[in-house]
Amino acid sequence: MKNSILKIGIAVSITCAFAMGEGAFIGVESDYSFESNLKTKDEINSANFKDNQIGIGLKAGYDFDIYRVYGSYIYDLQTKDSIIDEDGDPLALKWNTHKFIIGAEYTPVVANDLKLAIGGYTGMSILKMKVNAIDENEKDDIKGWIIGAKLGGIYAIDESNEVEFGLKADRTDYGKSDKSEMKDAKETNYGFYLGYNYKF
């Protein structure tokens, strides 16, 4: 149900952006997470994995001058961490994510050609993991609900081109895995982002 609502929301956001003409924009974005903190838990053990992570994505939306709405897709590149588990055995994990997001931002003018951008976003994240342990090597995919916030700025180069930059933080709660004994996983990220938008 959540997947269907999210897909419909993104489709409507993008369709409206292109249908309404002036104010519509498309763009690209990259982000860098200072720490992607992934906590996992099965029936017996829990583990905490940390590493920095880079994301790249595409965005489309509509700018209403004082605020804007958008839909985006972000792919977080694979990262990895190794720990010693609660039994004293080495455990390595590699993970990446696919994020489908809808968001809204308040964008008041603060200086000539510069706007503040403060807002939030939500959506679905698909976590892909590869586990390497002494007695097992397995892959796992889990879907989760993401919620986040952004604070930054938008600088207008001219009427059609702008760059945006700032800080972002989010948290994702993943459900139970259908492929393994994973009962719970939570991921938090915080870092900075940089993007470019073309306005129609």
**Residue 105: which CATH number?**
2.40.160.20
Non-local (6+) Cβ contacts of 46 within 8 A are 39, 40, 86
In the chain, the number of structural domains is 1
Place of tokens 């994240």: 125
Structure tokens at 107: 């964008």
What is the value of pTM for the model shown?
0.83
Render each residue's pLDDT in the chain as its tens digit; 200 residues: 555 555 555 555 555 545 455 689 999 999 999 988 888 887 667 788 888 999 999 999 999 989 999 999 999 999 988 887 666 777 788 999 999 999 999 999 999 999 999 999 999 999 998 877 656 677 888 999 999 999 999 999 999 999 999 999 999 999 777 766 667 889 999 999 999 999 99
Domain residue limits at 189: 2-199
Helix H or strand E segment including 5: helix 2-19
- Output the CA torsion sign for 47, 124, 164, 59: positive
Q: How far is CA 95 from CA 30, 55, 119, 121, in A?
A: 18, 13, 27, 22
Q: What is the dihedral of CA 63, 125, 81, 28, to 10 degrees?
A: -30
